[in-house]
């Protein structure tokens, strides 16, 4: 997974556990596509101070994910649901029973809510 996407996802999951400054800087850098220079000018600090806050925030996000595995578990759950949905579709395509088809369609809708 690309680092930018991973950081954005981790921010969404763990962002409330960062300092306000770390979250703001990560959000500006990864989601709002601001450069270090732009951020330094906006916050009236040095580029190095911006970079340090971003690095600290990134390290905290990776540390939290390493301990809690929320994103990893979510990804695995989504993969399992996708696999089940695929199997249900195969059954629907080979079954001629309309009640089975209707029941499986309901199950698919319920599973999609979980993704």
Higher pLDDT, 6 or 95: 6
Whats the size of the chain, residue-wise?
115
Spans of all domains in the chain: 3-68, 74-114
pLDDT value at 73 more than 90: yes
d(CA 58, CA 110): 35
d(CA 71, CA 76): 9
Considering the entire predicted model, what is its pTM?
A: 0.78
pLDDT (0 to 100) of residue 26: 97
CATH number of 3-68: 1.10.10.10
Q: Residue 6: pLDDT band by 50, 70, 90 thresholds?
A: very high
pLDDT value at 20 more than 80: yes
């Amino acid at each position: 997974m690309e680092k930018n996407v991973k950081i954005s996802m981790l921010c969404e999951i763990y962002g409330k556990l960062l300092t306000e400054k770390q979250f703001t800087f990560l959000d500006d850098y990864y989601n709002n596509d601001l450069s270090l220079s732009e951020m330094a000018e906006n916050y009236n600090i040095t580029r190095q101070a911006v970079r340090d806050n971003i690095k600290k925030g990134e390290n905290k996000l990776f540390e939290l994910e390493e301990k809690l595995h929320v994103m990893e578990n979510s990804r695995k759950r989504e993969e399992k649901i996708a696999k089940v949905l695929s199997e249900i579709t195969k059954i629907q395509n080979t079954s001629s029973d309309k009640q089975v088809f209707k029941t499986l369609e309901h199950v698919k809708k319920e599973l999609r809510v979980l993704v």
